[in-house]
Amino acid sequence: MSATIIGAWQFWALLAAVFAALTAILAKVGVSDVPSDLATLLRTFVVVALLAAIVAVTKQWRSPASLPGRSLVFLALSGLATGASWLCYFRALKLGDAARVAPIDKLSIVLVAIFGVVFLGEKLAPVNWAGIALIALGAWLVTLR
């Protein structure tokens, strides 16, 4: 694989989507006989261990005290949002079909677009908004029986 492809955000975003899809399927099976909050905790332990190994091997570790305070605050808030998201996601998987839960969870795409424009000043073209509308419509259609 060329360095150009590996360095592209699209490559990593597509991998994120693949792993998110696997997360839904694997979690749905894993949460079947386990309370959803315990399942989230166990999954979190695995994530922490994996990331600790990656940070150690790639020598990325820096003392949190050496990092900008603003970054720490926003990373902490992001961590709280992630935890809340995971708890809700696993509870939804425990109660519903993975094929229905995951698309609703992906309404986060619509919200990220809106929040990016409102809070970060990002600009989206009309064709981008059309795509966002189609994602919202698609998520809603998946909920119908």
Confidence of residue 145 (pLDDT cuts 50, 70, 90): confident
Q: Which is nearest to 37 in space by CA: 99, 76, 89, 77?
A: 89
- 14-22 contacts, C-beta under 8 A, 24 or more apart: 20/102, 21/102
Tell me the mean pLDDT in the region 115-128.
97
- Taking only the tens place, the pLDDT of each residue in 92-103 is 999 999 999 999
Structural contact between residues 112 and 124, judged by C-beta atoms closer than 8 angstroms = no
d(CA 120, CA 83): 23
pTM, two decimal places: 0.82
b/e map of 54-82 (b: 16 or more CB within 10 Å)?
eeeeeeeeeeeeeeeeeeeeeeeeeeeee
pLDDT(7) > 90: no
Checking 100-108 for CB contacts under 8 A at 24+ apart, the result is 100/142, 100/143, 101/24, 101/28, 102/20, 102/21, 102/24, 103/138, 103/139, 103/142, 103/143, 104/139, 104/142, 104/143, 105/24, 106/135, 106/139, 107/135, 107/136, 107/139
Whether 1 has a pLDDT exceeding 70, the answer reads no
Q: Can you give the C-alpha Rg of the chain in angstroms? A: 18
